Amino acid sequence: MSDSNTPTTSNAPNDSDAGKMEPRDFIREIIRKDLADGTTSKVVTRFPPEPNGYLHIGHAKSIFLNFGIAEEFDGACNLRFDDTNPAKEEQEFIDAIEADVRWMGFTWAGAPKHASDYFDTLYTWAENLIENGKAYVDDLTADEIREYRGTLTKPGRNSPYRDRTADENLDLFRRMKAGEFADGAKVLRAKIDMASGNINMRDPVIYRIVKKPHPRTGDTWCIYPTYDFAHGQSDAIEGVTHSLCTLEFEDHRPLYDWLVENLPTPARPRQYEFAKLNLSYAVLSKRRLTQLVKDGHVDGWDDPRMLTLSGLRRRGIPAVAVRDFVSRLGVTKSDSVVDPALLDHCVREYLNKVAERRMAVIHPLKVVIENYPEGETEMLDAVNNPEDDAAGTRQVPFGRELYIEHDDFMEDPPKKFFRLGPGREVRLRWAYFLTCNEVIKNDAGDVIELRCTYNPETKGGDAPDGRKVKGVLHWVSSAHAIDAEVRLYEHLFVDPAPGKDRDFIEALNPDSRSVLENCKLEPSLADWPVGEALQFERLGYFAPDPDSTAAKPVFNRTMTLRDTWAKIQAKTS
């Protein structure tokens, strides 16, 4: 059992059999073995966020692992808030975390649980440790404790308070609980070994005084257990069998084990560690995300540029694509940095299949069709999703005045430019061939309007003489267009590893968001559900933002169309 933390199988992304093959990784191997030899009868995992921020894409990896394993092995996964630090934790975060886990498509076993549910038991167990001579109250300051702790190369020194009697410790600990001492004046430490090669075993602090009301227990407590004293014990109380955490807790495992062994816990959980998800051009630590929000570098935790689950959702990224992404990462024990192009690829692959297509013009240029009757409108059939016949068709209004994309016109186009230019002909999607006859400019010399003619015999398809036209442009009838704001996003950071060579704030991308006003949408886009992505033909995937009003819809660009991941793969394979 002791060496069961060694990875036995690497977990390469199983692209070839996507969705068919059972996921295999070292943690699942351990679980299969534990179930086979009877060590475990029912797998219980937990997802244990600290409610001091919103969940990010890294947490999605942990959610997918913990809840995914529970589903696969017919076990259970608890949602447990690791709420041991009232100084930083808030109800807003608890609510957001629950919403995000549900959005990912998972349900926790029973009611949400909290480390704070166990404060009474944890307190009793701390007294047990004291009675058994395995914990003591220390009066050293935080700085002194750090100094006495030693370093990786230097053993620690015993605190002068280490040899207090059990009675004295019990009395002091009870008075800590009663609020007799100020924050930081005393702590309770486990009495393990100040010379241990593992610094976590050098008499770790297990209780500290924090005179702050707790979101759940209010003013009941002014002493709180540390993460180390709460986590494994909470696992044991809940009957968690496999406690999965990230690699930085590997060195805490001896302490985790020491505590469950030295306390009258009802069960014996085991901790296993896996590598965190890191993404280039992003920061995922909650401390940094908090700074971005608090200092106003972004509009909030759900800013669509944030790689929080709520930010991704607001941008229109579907939960299915996030699950696909984390499922491809595998679960290993070696840290790596993932290219965000892989996430983008998963989003495009999914949206290409399911997203409806619509026409929208984000840099409008007016077109007047001089041979089209004034005041007339006709309805043209347009296919909603060429990848999905069941999505059907809709009708799009066409008339004498249209908008096309400014980029789709060039006054002096090179040969390879197959879009519109003076004297050139293009096809309008779902409509007619169009020829540009005249270019109208304002006093500054900017092109502001095109005078064109259409060919009535080319409706919905090709020319009767079989003539081919290469360029196909999207368009919106100006008489029917909905005015909208469109927000375009780029990576929030310009450095691949923000914070590596300079402060991560300096690496912020000043162009991470551009706001386009007066964009033109086809009328079927009125009241499109917030957060539901669709494709603006030729432009990308977009989804309405919650800032939308009836008078002015606001769309976020979820993703461009060009798949850079496929290119990267082609180059490297």
Please report, as ranges, the residues that interact with ligand ATP according to CB under 6 A: 48-50, 58-59, 61-62, 82, 245-246, 276-277, 284-286
How far is residue 491's CA from residue 121's CA, in Å, rounded to a whole number? 46
Q: Between residues 174 and 276, which has the closer beta carbon with respect to Mg ion?
A: 276
Q: Which is nearer to ligand ATP, 58 or 531 (CB)?
A: 58
- Closest approach, Cβ 246 to Mg ion, in A, equals 9
193 makes contact, choosing from Mg ion, ligand ATP, none, with CB < 5 to 8 Å by partner type, with none
Nearest approach in angstroms of CB 54 to ligand ATP is 10
Tokens of 56: 């990010």
| Residue of 253, 252, 180, 317 whose CA lies nearest to 4 | 253
DSSP line for 473-518: E-EEETTTPEEEEEEEE--SBSSSSTTSSS-GGGGB-TTSEEEEEE
Smallest separation, CB 27 to ligand ATP (Å): 13
Nearest distance from residue 263's CB to ligand ATP, in Å? 21
Binding partner at 46 among Mg ion, ligand ATP, none, C-beta below 5 to 8 Å by kind: none
Q: Is 290 one of the binding residues for Mg ion (CB under 5 A)?
A: no
Closer residue to ligand ATP in complex, CB, 134/286: 286
CB of 228 to ligand ATP, least distance (A): 13
Q: Which of residues 148-187 bind Mg ion (CB under 5 A)?
A: none
Nearer to ligand ATP, 46 or 186 (CB): 46
**Closer CB to ligand ATP, residue 137 or residue 307?**
307
Output DSSP code: residue 406.
G
Q: How far is the CB of 213 from ligand ATP (least distance, A)?
A: 21
**Min CB(37)–Mg ion separation in Å:** 32
Q: Provide the minimum distance between the beta carbon of 333 and ligand ATP in the complex, in angstroms, as a whole number.
A: 13
In sequence order, what are the residues at sequence separation of 6 or more whose Cβ sits closer than 8 angstroms to the Cβ of residue 15? 328
**CB of 84: closest distance to Mg ion in angstroms?**
10
In this structure, is the dihedral angle defined by the CA atoms of residues 310, 315, 319 and 324, taken in order, positive or negative? negative
Long-range contacts of residues 123-128, Cβ cutoff 8 Å, at least 24 apart: 123/177, 123/223, 125/233, 125/263, 125/264, 125/265, 126/173, 126/188, 126/206, 126/207, 126/225, 126/229, 127/170, 127/173, 128/263, 128/264
Cα separation, 3 vs 267, in Å, equals 20
Selection from ligand ATP, Mg ion, none that 490 binds (CB < 5 to 8 A by kind) is none
Of 50 and 339, CB closest to ligand ATP: 50
Q: Which does 421 bind (CB under 5 to 8 A by kind): ligand ATP, Mg ion, none?
A: none
What is the closest distance, in whole angstroms, from the C-beta atom of residue 73 to ligand ATP in the complex?
19
C-beta of 50 vs 299, nearer to Mg ion: 50
Choose from Mg ion, ligand ATP, none: what does 429 bind? Cβ within 5-8 Å by kind. none
**Strand (E) or helix (H) holding 78:** strand 76-81
Asked if 192 and 80 count as a contact pair (C-beta separation under 8 A), the reply is: no
String of contacts with Mg ion for each residue 41-70, x by CB under 5 A: ---------x--------------------
Residue with smaller CB distance to ligand ATP, 85 or 385? 85
**Which of Mg ion, ligand ATP, none is residue 228 near (CB under 5 to 8 Å by kind)?**
none
Residue nearest to ligand ATP (CB): 58
From the list ligand ATP, Mg ion, none, pick the one residue 200 interacts with, judged by a Cβ distance below 5 to 8 Å according to partner type. Answer: none
d(CA 255, CA 263): 12
CA dist 343 and 61 (Å) reads: 12
Three-class HEC string of 184-211: CCCEEEECCCCCCCCHHHCCCEEEEECC
The single-letter DSSP state of residue 420 is B
Looking at residue 426, its amino acid is V
Q: Which residue, 229 or 430, has its beta carbon nearer to Mg ion?
A: 229
Look up residue 407 and give its DSSP letter: G
- Cα torsion at 217, 222, 228, 229 (round to 10°)? -80
Within 404-463, the residues that bind Mg ion by CB under 5 A are none
Name the residue whose CB lies closest to Mg ion.
50
CA dist., res. 163 & res. 196, Å (int)? 18
Interacting positions 193-212 with Mg ion (CB under 5 A):
none
Asked if residues 27 and 69 have their Cβ atoms less than 8 Å apart, the reply is yes
Round to whole Å and give the CA distance between 321 and 205.
42
72 CB contacts (<8 Å, ≥6 apart)?
A: 22, 23, 28
In the list ligand ATP, Mg ion, none, the entry touching 61 (Cβ below 5 to 8 angstroms by class) is ligand ATP
Please, which residue, 58 or 544, has the CB nearer to ligand ATP? 58
| Residues in contact with Mg ion by the rule CB under 5 A | 50
